A and B are shown apart, each in its own frame.
Chain A
Amino acid sequence: MNLRLAFIVVVAGLLGACTGNHNMIVEGGRFPVPLMDKAPVRLGVYLDDEIRSYVHTETRDKKSEWTVDVGGAQLDLFSNLAEGVFQDHELVDSSAAGHLDGVLKPSIKEIQFSLPKQTRTNYYEVWIRYHFQLFDKEGNPVGEWTLPAYGKANTNDHGSTTVGLQEAALAACRDAMAFFSINFVREPVVRNWLAAGKPVVPPAPPVNTPAPSPADPQAPAVTSTEGSQT
């Protein structure tokens, strides 16, 4: 009887290992404040519930579920980022902040990851696609842009899949921070808005009105995408 019970326990354990869940949580506390000249702008940072609780869930091979939880790290990430990049900043809870120059609203559009056995390399890799919306002080959209970030972790350095993917996700978050910091004032949407004196953008025209030229610094909702290199 005991042997049968032991056999069942072993088989159940093995099946559990094959169909196991993998939960990766990226925690804050590992994001430094960027060392750079601050952009001459006072911005509110609006982190809504969606980004603060962002969890990527994926089922692979119909038997294992993978979750990459990066939401918990976003507050620390964007607080430190704003402290280093903007002249002044504040966490706000809407896209309008009358006492500041404008509001930045980041969001995560997509997360992808790959495992060493898929790519036949020594790397766990994570890609995160961030999306940024810039609003003037009255909450009118100034423009938006996307930022693809990439992070990797070597199997030689991280024994377990969970730790390897966690480190790769953390590296992707740091990559997003680094690329955002260096390119914020070069971003066409931001550059034009700053050059125009951070004006209040007129509300978006009715749907059938032709869109203004993108060269116009006061043009609402300009879109661009930053490149990524791996």
Chain B
Amino acid sequence: MIYLRILQWSVVTGAICLLAGCVTATVQQVRETATAMNEEDSIVVLGRRNRPSKAEAELDFVECVSRNLSSGENPVQVISEQQFVDAMFPWFEPRTAPLSTTDLPELLQQPLLAERIREIGLKYLVWLEGSTRQIAQAGSMSCSVTPGGGGCFGFLTWEKDSSYEASVWDAHTAKTAGRVSSDAAGTSYMPALVVPIPIIARVQNSACSSLAGQLKQFVRNDT
């Protein structure tokens, strides 16, 4: 009986894994100072865009991390990237944004900026760097259309890798609070026997949710 139950679970897990594609994600963090957030404190997630780079986080990834931080269990108050850079204009544009925490004190010395930061309740700035790339692809597929109908035949597989790092700056102390990194990898498949069936590994989504989850714990000091 117990073997039957194990077999059932294995079949179900295997089917889910096949339909969604399997992803493995690893999250790491380095803490440099203690962190805490009150109800009125907020956080902003920004993509580093000072120069053309292959490690520039995608806009939708930045939005995904912000969305995950502000929802689910123990949500934190998040200011959207666009709202923040507009509110702080021109100090967080690609050419003018501070590159390290050593640039922050000078910026925060400006009364108008300090007042705006107080107004929006900003406690932490999170700088995101990284990207999702396709690292391998194999297989082939051919499709044909005839007057009698059409169809595809073949098998495609590709592997994606996501690697992101978030650097957390404390806007009150102007120091680096720590870093959280998230790596995810997964393989997607597309078998086709007349109709192609895509089995997509949601690698970037997995990296996003694991990074946001860890960031949430990090800023709340739950770890």
Residues of A near any B CB (own CB < 8 A): 32-37, 121-123, 125, 150, 152, 154, 156-157, 171, 174-175, 177-179, 181-182, 229-230
Q: Which of B51, B52, B59, B116 contacts A35 (CB 8 A)?
A: B116
- A157: nearest chain-B partner, CB-CB: B59
With contact pairs A123-B52, A154-B58, A171-B94 given, residues A32 and B86 touching in the complex (Cβ less than 8 Å): yes
Give the complex CA separation of A210 and B54 in angstroms. 53
A228 and chain B: residue at smallest CB distance: B95
Contacts of B60 in A (CB 8 A): 157
B58-82, CB under 8 A of A: which get 1 and which 0?
A: 1110000000000000000000000
In angstroms, Cα B49 to Cα A34, docked, is: 20
| B52 A181 Cβ-Cβ under 8 A | no
Contacts of B54 in A (CB 8 A): 122
A171–B91 Cα distance when bound, in Å, is: 14
Q: Which residues of chain B have C-beta atoms less than 8 A from A37's C-beta?
A: 110, 112
Given A125-B52, A152-B52, 6 more pairs with CB closer than 8 A: A34-B89, A36-B90, A121-B52, A174-B90, A175-B95, A178-B90
CA distance A35 to B112 in the complex (A): 7
For B60, B86, B110, B116, which residue has the most chain A Cβ atoms within 10 angstroms?
B86
Bound complex: CA of A181 vs CA of B113, how far in Å?
14
**Contacting residues, chain A, for B91 (C-beta < 8 A):** 35
Contact at A230–B87, with CB atoms within 8 Å?
Answer: no
Give Cα A229 to B96, complex, Å. 10
Q: Are A35 and B113 in contact (CB under 8 A)?
A: yes
CB pair A36–B112 under 8 Å, yes or no, is yes
- Chain B residues with CB under 8 A of A150: 95
**Can you list 30 contacts pairing A with B, beta carbon distance less than 8 Å?**
A32-B86, A32-B89, A34-B89, A34-B90, A35-B87, A35-B91, A35-B113, A35-B116, A36-B112, A37-B110, A122-B52, A122-B54, A125-B52, A154-B56, A154-B59, A157-B59, A174-B90, A175-B94, A175-B95, A177-B89, A178-B89, A178-B95, A178-B96, A179-B90, A179-B96, A181-B90, A182-B96, A229-B95, A230-B51, A230-B52
In the complex, residue of chain A having the shortest beta-carbon distance to the beta carbon of B49: A152
Question: A179 CB to closest chain B CB, in angstroms?
Answer: 7
Q: What are the nearest 8 A-B pairs in CB distance?
A: A178-B90, A32-B89, A178-B93, A157-B59, A32-B86, A156-B58, A181-B90, A123-B52
How many pairs, one residue from A and one from B, have CB atoms within 8 Å of each other in the complex? 61
Interface of B is mostly: loop
CA of A178 to CA of B56 in the docked complex: distance in angstroms? 21
Contact partners of A175 in chain B: CB under 8 A: 93-95
Query: Which of B86, B94, B96 gathers most chain A CB within 10 Å?
Result: B94
List, in ascending order, chain A residues with CB within 8 A of B89's CB.
32-35, 174, 177-178
Contacts of B94 in A (CB 8 A): 152, 171, 175
CB of B36 within 8 A of chain A? Answer: no
Cα(A181)–Cα(B90), bound, Å: 7
Q: Does B29 contact A (CB under 8 A)?
A: no
Contact: A35 with B95, CB < 8 Å?
no
Q: Which residues of B contact A121 (CB under 8 A)?
A: 52
Are B52 and A157 in touch, CB under 8 angstroms? no
Minimum distance in angstroms from A101 CB to a CB of chain B: 23
Asked if B88 is at the interface (CB within 8 A of a chain A CB), the reply is: yes
With contacts A35-B116, A154-B56, A154-B58 taken as known, whether A179 is within 8 angstroms of B95 at the C-beta atoms is yes
- Rounded to whole Å, the gap between the CB of A225 and the closest CB of chain B is 16
Most buried by A among B91, B94, B95, B131: B95
Tell me which residues across on chain A come within 8 A of B95, comparing CB atoms: 150, 175, 178-179, 229
Q: From residue A14, how far is it (CB to closest CB) to chain B in Å?
A: 18
Partner of A157, one of B51, B58, B90: B58
Closest Cβ of chain B: how far from A164's Cβ, in Å?
12
A84 CB, nearest partner CB in chain B, Å: 8
In the assembled complex, how far is the CB of residue B45 from the closest CB belonging to chain A, in whole angstroms?
15
Residues of A within 8 A of B112 (CB): 35-37
Which residue of B90, B95, B131 has the most chain A CB atoms within 10 A of its CB atom?
B90
* CB-CB nearest in chain A for B56: A154
